[in-house]
Structure 1
Amino acid sequence: MWVLGVTGGIGSGKTTVTDLFAALGITIVDADVIARHIMDPGGPALNAVIERYGEQALQADGQLNRAWLRERIFQDNDAKAWLNALTHPLIRTQIHRQLEQAASPYVILSAPLLVENKLTELCDRVLVVDVPEEVQRQRTIKRDQVSAAQVELIMQSQCSREERLAFADDVINNDVSRDALQQQVEALHQHYLVNARQAAATKEC
C-alpha cells in the first residue's frame, strides 16, 4: 500500500485536510485516534497509568483525565519519557495493522508527531499542513479553551515549523478559504493517485 504521511503543528487544521481526503474515498489511519483508544478503560496502558498516578488520573466515569495527564507530562520530562515508552510501541502496532488493512487507492497516515516519532519511515511521501505560528496559537486557544502558556508548551514540544517543512514533499497552505483548501486537496489527490498507480506497477514488475 502506498502511504501518504500527513502532519502539521497543533492548530494547523490537519484534521480538516484529512477529512477532505476521506471524502474523496481515501482511508485515514489517524495516530491521534489510535492513541486515544490505547487508553481505553481496562487496557494495559490505562492500567499502567493508574498504577503510577492513582485515581487522580481518572475522570469520574473511569476514563483517562487527559487534561490532567497532559499538564503533568508537559511539566515533567521524566513523566513524558515514561508515557512515551508505554504508549509508542502499542500505537505503532495498531498503525501497522490499520495500514495493512486499508483498501483505498492509497492510504493516509495522519500524525501530529509524524516527524518527531520517526513515522516518516512508514511513508512514501509526506504532506505538511502549514499555517503561520500565530494562527496556530489563536486557533488552539479558541478550539481547546486553553491558556496561551499551555499552547506555547505544546508547540515547544513539537518540532519547529521550519523543521517540519524540511521533511515535506508537499505543503498545503491552510490559512485560506475552504474553497481554496478544497482545490489544493483535489489537485494533490490526483497527483497521489498517479504516484500510487506507478508504485503498484513497479512492484508488480
Structure 2
Amino acid sequence: MTMVIGLTGGIGSGKTTVANLFADYHIDIIDADIVAREVVAPGSAGLKAIEDKLGSDILLTDGNLDRSKLRAAIFSDNTLKDWLNGLLHPMIREKMQADIQQATSPYCLLVVPLMVENNLQAMTDRLLVVDVDEQTQIARTTQRDGVDAEQVKSILAAQASRQERLDAADDIINNNNDGAQLSSQVATLHQQYLAMCQQQPS
C-alpha cells in the first residue's frame, strides 16, 4: 500500500509550487481541485445530477459546467449549497481513494486545500502543512488573483486558522522565503518519506 502524504495550506501558501517540487522526484500527485473538476466533467454522473437539479442552463455551450453560474446559484441559497456538497464530496473522496490505489510511486501526495476544515487527513498517513504568515498570503493572493486585500482576508477567515493547521501537522514547510530554501526543505522531506516507506511492512 502506497504511503499517503496529505499536503495542505491556506490560500497563497504555495501548495502548488511545493507539489510540483515533489513531482520533480516522480512522486504521484493527487490534487483535490483537479478531482473536483473530473467528477463534474461532461458525461459524468456528477454533472448529470447537477443538470437534472438546475436545468441545462447550468451548462456552457460546449457541455461543460458553467462554474460562475453555479457559484452564483449556491451563493444565495444555502440549501442548494448543502445539496451540492452532499452530492460532490463523496464522489471526490471516492475518486481520490481510487487514484491513491493506482499510485505507483513509493509514496503519493494528496493535495487538499481544505484538508483540515473537512477532516480529510483521515485519508492520509502523514499531514504536511505549507506554512506562511498572513501578510505573505495576502500579498501573494492579491498579486496572483487580482483581488483586493479585504477579499483575501474574508477567504482567510473562512479557512482553518494558521494555528489549527499547524496543530494538525506532522511535517511543516516554511514558505515565507525564497525558492532555494523551499527546494531544500522538499528534498529533505522526500528523503525522510522514502526512508519511512522502506520501514513500512509491505
SS of corresponding position for 1:102: coil
d(CA) in 2 for partners of 1:3 and 1:149? 35
Paired residue for 2:126? Answer: 125
Paired residue for 2:82? Answer: 81
For structure 2, list consecutive stretches of 5 or more residues without a partner in the other structure: none
Paired residue for 2:45? Answer: 44
d(CA) in 2 for partners of 1:176 and 1:71? 37
Amino acid at match of 2:116: V
Q: 1:156 to 1:84 in 2, by over 3 A?
A: farther
RMSD: 2.0
d(CA) in 2 for partners of 1:120 and 1:178? 27
d(CA) in 2 for partners of 1:103 and 1:72? 40
d(CA) in 1 for partners of 2:72 and 2:130? 26
| Superposed displacement of residue 154, structure 1 | 3.1
d(CA) in 1 for partners of 2:15 and 2:103? 20
Q: Quick check: which one's helix share is greater?
A: 1
User: 1:41, 1:62 within 8 Å by CA — same for their partners in 2?
Assistant: yes
User: 1:74, 1:153 within 8 Å by CA — same for their partners in 2?
Assistant: no
Percent sequence identity over matched residues?
49
For normalisation by structure 1, the TM-score amounts to: 0.88
For structure 1, list consecutive stretches of 5 or more residues without a partner in the other structure: none
User: 1:74, 1:154 within 8 Å by CA — same for their partners in 2?
Assistant: no
Q: 1:141 to 1:61 in 2, by over 3 A?
A: farther
Paired residue for 2:113? Answer: 112
| Superposed displacement of residue 72, structure 1 | 4.3
Paired residue for 2:8? Answer: 7
Query: How far does the alpha carbon of each residue in 1:1-53 deviate from its partner, in whole angstroms, 9 at most, with x for none?
Result: 11111001111110110100010111111111100111112222122223333
SS of corresponding position for 1:4: strand
| Superposed displacement of residue 71, structure 1 | 4.6
Amino acid at match of 1:27: D
Q: 1:69 to 1:174 in 2, by over 3 A?
A: farther
d(CA) in 1 for partners of 2:164 and 2:109? 21
| Superposed displacement of residue 90, structure 1 | 0.8
User: 1:45, 1:86 within 8 Å by CA — same for their partners in 2?
Assistant: yes
| Superposed displacement of residue 143, structure 1 | 2.1
Amino acid at match of 2:159: Q
Paired residue for 2:196? Answer: 195
Q: 1:8 to 1:84 in 2, by over 3 A?
A: same
Would you say how many aligned residue pairs link Structure 1 and Structure 2? 201
d(CA) in 1 for partners of 2:80 and 2:154? 15
Paired residue for 2:179? Answer: 178
For normalisation by structure 2, the TM-score amounts to: 0.89
Paired residue for 2:144? Answer: 143
Query: How far does the alpha carbon of each residue in 1:120-157 deviate from its partner, in whole angstroms, 9 at most, with x for none?
Result: 11111110011122322232233233454543443333
Amino acid at match of 1:165: L
Amino acid at match of 1:53: L
Q: 1:148 to 1:89 in 2, by over 3 A?
A: same
